[in-house]
Amino acid sequence: MNLNSLKGRPLVAALLATLVAGLGHLYLKKWARTVAWFTLIYVAGLVFVPRPELIALVNQGAEPPVAHLLPVLAIQFLSALDAYRVARTERRRLAALDPCPNCGKPTDDDLEFCPWCTQRLGVESPEQDGASGNRLISR
Ligand SMILES: [Zn+2]
């Protein structure tokens, strides 16, 4: 099974989520979680950072005291943790699935073809088709 293409994903997702809450989930294409984390960090900023400091931050780039940012930073940290956990769970799920007989990469149960090489799944491989074709001709 070729999981090399998925190797760095949990770490990349966590690093992106550390930069901007929800960005790691966007990278993982977890749309609902992306919206949830963006919304949560936005609301946390409005609720926990005092309004004058928020205005100064937006207008002049003046950083509020760290103590006022702690709830927002905590949510950002949790977002990174969640992105890492979601990516690891996804990677384990993919590893548990049957690999594609053609390219060896993980397949998706919902698809009738390999998402990596488009090989149809659950049907004979082209070599076997050729063999059965020869058999038909020899009859
Ligand atoms: Zn394949």
pTM, to two decimals: 0.63
In the reported structure, the alpha carbon of residue 102 is separated from the centroid of ligand 1 by a whole-number distance in angstroms of: 5
In the reported structure, the alpha carbon of residue 106 is separated from the centroid of ligand 1 by a whole-number distance in angstroms of: 8
Write the pLDDT tens digit of every residue in 64-103: 888 888 999 999 999 999 999 999 998 888 777 778 889 9
In the reported structure, the alpha carbon of residue 117 is separated from the centroid of ligand 1 by a whole-number distance in angstroms of: 4
In the reported structure, the alpha carbon of residue 98 is separated from the centroid of ligand 1 by a whole-number distance in angstroms of: 11
Cβ atoms of 87 and 25 within 8 Å: the answer is no
Q: What protein residues have CB closer than 5 angstroms to ion ligand 1?
A: 100, 102-103, 114, 116-117, 119
Cβ atoms of 28 and 86 within 8 Å: the answer is yes
Write the pLDDT tens digit of every residue in 13-62: 999 999 999 999 999 999 999 999 999 999 999 999 898 988 888 898 88
Write the pLDDT tens digit of every residue in 44-54: 999 998 989 88
In the reported structure, the alpha carbon of residue 77 is separated from the centroid of ligand 1 by a whole-number distance in angstroms of: 36
Cβ atoms of 70 and 55 within 8 Å: the answer is no
In the reported structure, the alpha carbon of residue 127 is separated from the centroid of ligand 1 by a whole-number distance in angstroms of: 15
135 pLDDT above the threshold of 90:
no
d(CA 28, CA 15): 12
What is residue 68's predicted lDDT score, i.e. its pLDDT? 86
Band of the pLDDT at 133, cuts 50, 70, 90? very low
